[in-house]
């Protein structure tokens, strides 16, 4: 149910009716139907041969010529992307240039040429395979690390580029495309993805990658629907197959029946209509049918997403998950570096508010820069604010950067995983210190920065009345609140059906938090994945919420759903739901009360209805 929970990747149970339904990760929104083109793998497109001892120097020379060629190709793509897709995707490519001469890789490759007398292509592939095996062992451990997963991806990319340079394979795998095509590949490099903007490519599907992988970032920047992390893609899809790619739901249907195609085309048309509507209505506020405004903000993980948030009509950033700055790197981000990132988001969004959440690292968000201890139960361990308070040096660096960013717009600071008042007090003390240090250094800042807390631990719900007197605002994190209240690991796919926000315990907690906030006139938002579900959003309005934060792509749908109900109607359904003792009864109440009147939105945006 949560956007950060790993989605199922197996063949879905409804496969036989609609076609072969495969599930992966929704990486970039949009729905399309097209013909599959399965791309091969450069890794296997050469002959593995031994060289003669007398030829080793020539072979090493050939290797370094290939390094130069690959470098020149990447630099060229990077420069053209700087103009088309902006700085961030281009910066990723720049990192690959450096990696091309990484001693970890190159020393191995050279040794294989000189000692094992392998041809250069073979040496590159064998070396990268060895490194990938080392990474895989670590990445398959229970502490699987996004950083490691991404590094594996990077090594694969660089070795692929080198092999292409050595074999003379085309730099652009896509140049022979003549008809609109859905590209299916084990992986696509950022350069390949960028190249798609100019080709008749409708969408793409890859076997590896996550929502935060570089390829997914690029796809969103280029607005191409994409599903990544679909394990069985190459085994299940053949060139020439008709495929539906649903980048909203993370679903691919192979050889769909007519009904599935019709439905996908309708959903695609609605999605595009929503997008078009944005051009005219994105500056209009989201209001209920009776005219009550509901502030819809966006959750972002990367600064570049701020533009997407604006494009989708978000009224601000309700959650900036800053922990992503710490991922994918070997050294801690500096104060200046963070300041520049926060400032860019704040300036892009100004005068709209930006809620910067301090790093939520630990649990399932493992970051190698922190050298976290291995824990039996990481979700219950050194995570988020607990880690921040143990590492005041790192925390203060982030706080100073946030405080400085406040000089450029409406900045709010939000603290994750608060469970006791002492933690909030300690954080406030550090924020005061950060402000003093910023003043001392002569930097500008806003005179007052609201400090709020995430309500995502049951203890915070029970103490909401107390916290409301000490925090400037609340934002409910239902992804974790569900995990901790229902004792269901948010990363455990087999327990996913139990992790529902429509559990009676959860909706009663939401009512409690809202009441506490209202009593003390504190703004309260909800930024868990629940907010991006149209039915849940209506329920939340009925429970009294007037601010929701969600993935940018969900903003138009939620706006449309809200416009069809009055607050009184939402309140009535919420009252019925609150009186239920079982999830199934609540779902029934919501289906009758809400679903029937927004059926087009539900099916247009996410296919068959699945409750969060
Ligand atoms: C949540 O827990 O609901 C939330 C928004 O935070 P995250 O998903 O980043 O833990
Ligand atoms: Mg959380």
**Tens of pLDDT, residues 468-508:** 999 999 999 999 999 999 999 876 656 777 889 999 999 99
605 — pLDDT class (breaks 50, 70, 90): very low
pLDDT of residue 175: 43
Which residue has a Cα nearest atom 8 of ligand 1?
479
Which residue has a Cα nearest atom 3 of ligand 1?
477
d(CA 240, CA 514): 53
Is the CB–ligand 1 distance for residue 358 below 6 Å?
Answer: no
What is the sign of the dihedral through the CA atoms of 297, 302, 307 and 308? negative
What single string gives the DSSP state of each residue in 404-415? Answer: HHGGGS-EEEEE
Candidates 119, 527, 570, 580; catalytic one:
527
pLDDT of residue 106: 86
d(CA 64, CA 599): 59
105 — pLDDT class (breaks 50, 70, 90): confident
**Ligand 1 atom closest to the CA of 323, numbered from 1:** 9
Per residue in 310-341, pLDDT (tens digit) is 988 999 999 999 988 887 567 899 999 999 99
d(CA 168, CA 161): 10
CA 411 to chain CA centroid, nearest Å: 22
pLDDT of residue 364: 67
Based on the number of CB atoms within 10 Å of its own CB, is 546 exposed (0-12), middle (13-18) or buried (19 or more)? middle
**CA of residue 495 to ligand 2 center, whole Å:** 18
Per residue in 38-84, pLDDT (tens digit) is 886 566 656 778 888 999 999 999 999 988 888 887 777 667 656 55
Rg (CA), the chain: 25
**CA of residue 479 to ligand 2 center, whole Å:** 6
Pick the CATH number of 43-167 from 1.10.274.10, 3.50.50.100, 1.10.238.10, 1.10.760.10: 1.10.274.10
Report the candidate in 30, 143, 162, 142 with the shortest Cα–Cα distance to residue 97.
162
pLDDT of residue 83: 59
pLDDT higher than threshold 80 for residue 564 = yes
pLDDT of residue 18: 75
Query: Quick one: which H or E segment has residue 530?
Result: none
Average pLDDT, the chain: 84
Report the candidate in 220, 209, 410, 398 with the shortest Cα–Cα distance to residue 309.
220
Mean pLDDT (whole number) for 232-254: 88
Ligand 1: which of 318, 366, 367, 456 to mutate, judged by most atoms within 8 Å of the beta carbon?
456
Query: Quick one: which H or E segment has residue 370?
Result: none
Neighbours of ion ligand 2 (CB under 5 A): 456, 477, 480
pLDDT of residue 337: 95
CA 4 to chain CA centroid, nearest Å: 7
pLDDT higher than threshold 60 for residue 344 = yes
Is 527 labeled as catalytic in the residue annotation? Answer: yes
Pick the CATH number of 269-603 from 3.10.310.30, 3.40.50.620, 3.30.70.270, 3.20.20.60: 3.20.20.60
Mean pLDDT (whole number) for 383-393: 95
Is the CB–ligand 1 distance for residue 477 below 6 Å?
Answer: yes
Based on the number of CB atoms within 10 Å of its own CB, is 38 exposed (0-12), middle (13-18) or buried (19 or more)? middle
d(CA 46, CA 160): 12
Cα atoms in the Cβ-side hemisphere of radius 13 Å centred on 13: 1
Q: Which is more confidently placed, 612 or 432? A: 432
Do 166 and 158 contact (CB within 8 A), yes or no? no
pLDDT higher than threshold 90 for residue 346 = yes
Percentage with pLDDT > 70 across the chain: 80
Does 20-33+203-256 match 269-603 in CATH topology?
Answer: no
d(CA 217, CA 194): 11
What angle separates helix 504-519 from helix 567-578, to the nearest 10 degrees?
130
**Ligand 1 atom closest to the CA of 479, numbered from 1:** 3
pLDDT of residue 223: 74
The full set of domain ranges for the chain reads 20-33+203-256, 43-167, 269-603
Length of the chain: 612
d(CA 22, CA 429): 50
Is the CB–ligand 1 distance for residue 480 below 6 Å?
Answer: yes
Q: What CATH fold (topology level) applies to the domain 20-33+203-256?
A: Glucose Oxidase; domain 1 (3.50.30)
pLDDT of residue 39: 80
pLDDT higher than threshold 50 for residue 609 = no
Is the CB–ligand 1 distance for residue 229 below 6 Å?
Answer: no
261 — pLDDT class (breaks 50, 70, 90): very high
pLDDT of residue 610: 37
pLDDT higher than threshold 70 for residue 197 = no
Q: Which is more confidently placed, 76 or 403? A: 403
pLDDT of residue 1: 34
Q: 429-457 burial, b if ≥16 CB within 10 A, otherwise e? A: ebbeebbeebeeeeeebbeebbbbbbbbb
**CB-based contacts of 471, cutoff 8 Å, min separation 6:** 418, 424, 451, 452, 453, 522
Ligand 1: which of 300, 321, 324, 526 to mutate, judged by most atoms within 8 Å of the beta carbon?
321
State both tokens at 524: 């309260």
Q: 561-595 burial, b if ≥16 CB within 10 A, otherwise e? A: bbeebebebbeebbebbbebeebeebbebbeebbb
Do 371 and 352 contact (CB within 8 A), yes or no? no
Is 570 labeled as catalytic in the residue annotation? Answer: no
pLDDT higher than threshold 90 for residue 139 = no
Mean pLDDT (whole number) for 403-422: 98
CA 219 to chain CA centroid, nearest Å: 12
Mean pLDDT (whole number) for 185-193: 72
Place of tokens 């080709």: 199
pLDDT of residue 269: 86
Ligand 1: which of 1, 2, 297, 549 to mutate, judged by most atoms within 8 Å of the beta carbon?
2
State both tokens at 373: 């201890």
pLDDT higher than threshold 50 for residue 171 = no
Tell me which ligand sits closest to the C-alpha of residue 4.
Answer: 1
Worst-scoring range by mean pLDDT, 62-66, 221-225, 227-231, 360-364?
221-225
pLDDT of residue 7: 36
Question: 3-state class of 83 per DSSP?
Answer: helix
**Ligand 1 atom closest to the CA of 456, numbered from 1:** 2
Do 48 and 119 contact (CB within 8 A), yes or no? yes
Helices (H) and strands (E) in the chain, counts: 24, 16
What is the pairing mode between strands 474-476 and 451-455?
A: parallel
What single string gives the DSSP state of each residue in 236-297? Answer: H--TT-EEEEETTTTEEEES--HHHHHHHHHHHHHHHHHHHHHHHHTTSPPB-TT--B-EEE
pLDDT of residue 231: 80
d(CA 242, CA 380): 45
pLDDT of residue 220: 67
> Which parts of 478-604 are beta strand (E)?
524-526, 547-551
Candidates 119, 153, 214, 570; catalytic one:
214
**CB-based contacts of 58, cutoff 8 Å, min separation 6:** none
pLDDT higher than threshold 80 for residue 526 = yes
Is the CB–ligand 1 distance for residue 527 below 6 Å?
Answer: yes
Question: 3-state class of 55 per DSSP?
Answer: helix
Q: Which is more confidently placed, 361 or 220? A: 361
Is the CB–ligand 1 distance for residue 360 below 6 Å?
Answer: yes
Per residue in 27-36, pLDDT (tens digit) is 888 899 999 9
**Ligand 1 atom closest to the CA of 416, numbered from 1:** 6
6 — pLDDT class (breaks 50, 70, 90): very low
């Amino acid at each position: 149910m949560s956007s950060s929970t790993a989605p199922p990747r197996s063949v879905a149970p409804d496969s036989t009716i609609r076609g072969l339904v495969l599930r992966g990760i929704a990486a970039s929104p949009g729905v399309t139907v097209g013909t599959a083109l399965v791309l091969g793998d450069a890794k296997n497109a050469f002959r593995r041969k031994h060289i003669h001892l007398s030829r080793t120097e020539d072979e090493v020379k050939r290797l370094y010529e290939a390094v130069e060629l690959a470098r020149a190709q990447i630099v060229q793509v990077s420069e053209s992307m700087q103009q088309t897709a902006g700085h961030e995707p281009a910066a990723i490519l720049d990192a690959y240039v450096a990696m091309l001469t990484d001693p970890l890789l190159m020393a191995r490759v050279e040794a294989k040429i000189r000692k094992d007398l392998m041809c250069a292509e073979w040496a590159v592939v064998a070396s990268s395979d060895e490194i990938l095996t080392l990474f895989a062992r670590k990445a398959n451990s229970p502490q699987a690390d996004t950083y490691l997963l991404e590094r594996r991806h990077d090594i694969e990319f660089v070795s692929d580029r080198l092999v292409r340079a050595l074999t003379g394979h085309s730099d652009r795998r896509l140049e022979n495309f003549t008809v609109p095509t859905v590209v299916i590949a084990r992986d696509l490099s950022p350069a390949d993805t960028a190249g798609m903007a100019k080709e008749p490519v409708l969408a793409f599907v890859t076997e590896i990658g996550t929502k935060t992988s570089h390829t997914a970032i690029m796809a969103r920047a280029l607005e191409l629907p994409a599903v990544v992390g679909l394990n069985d893609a190459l085994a299940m899809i053949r060139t020439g197959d008709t495929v539906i790619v649903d980048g909203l739901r993370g679903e691919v249907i192979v050889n769909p029946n007519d009904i599935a195609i019709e439905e996908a085309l309708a959903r695609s048309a609605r999605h595009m209509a929503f997008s078009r509507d944005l051009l005219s209505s994105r500056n209009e506020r989201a209001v209920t049918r009776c005219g009550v405004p509901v502030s819809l903000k966006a959750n972002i993980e990367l600064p570049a997403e701020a533009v997407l948030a604006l494009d989708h009509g978000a009224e601000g950033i309700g959650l900036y998950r800053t922990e992503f700055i710490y991922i994918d790197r070997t050294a801690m981000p500096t104060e200046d570096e963070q300041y520049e990132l926060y400032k860019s988001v704040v300036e892009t969004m100004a005068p709209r508010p930006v809620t910067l959440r301090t790093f939520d690292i630990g649990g399932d968000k493992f970051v190698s820069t922190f050298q976290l201890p291995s824990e039996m139960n990481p979700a219950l361990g050194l995570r988020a604010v607990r880690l921040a308070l143990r590492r005041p040096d790192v925390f203060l660096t982030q706080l100073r950067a946030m405080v400085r960013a406040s000089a450029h717009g409406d900045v709010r600071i939000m603290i994750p995983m608060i469970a006791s008042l002492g933690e909030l007090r300690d954080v406030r003390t550090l924020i005061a210190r950060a402000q003093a240090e910023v003043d001392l250094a002569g930097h500008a800042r806003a005179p007052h920065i609201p400090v709020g807390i995430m309500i995502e631990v049951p203890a915070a719900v029970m103490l909401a009345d107390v916290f409301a007197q000490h925090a400037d605002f609340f934002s409910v994190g239902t992804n974790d609140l569900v995990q901790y209240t229902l004792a269901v690991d948010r990363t455990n796919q087999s327990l996913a059906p139990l992790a529902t926000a429509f559990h009676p315990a959860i909706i009663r907690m939401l009512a409690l938090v809202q009441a506490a906030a209202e009593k003390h006139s504190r703004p309260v938002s909800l930024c868990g994945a629940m907010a991006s579900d149209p039915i849940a959003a209506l329920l939340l309005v009925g429970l009294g919420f007037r601010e929701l934060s969600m993935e940018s792509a969900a903003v138009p749908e939620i706006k449309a759903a809200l416009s069809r109900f009055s607050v009184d109607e939402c309140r009535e359904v919420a009252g019925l739901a609150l009186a239920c003792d079982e999830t199934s009864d609540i779902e029934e109440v919501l289906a009758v009360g809400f679903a029937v009147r927004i059926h087009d939105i539900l099916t247009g945006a996410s296919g068959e209805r699945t409750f969060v």
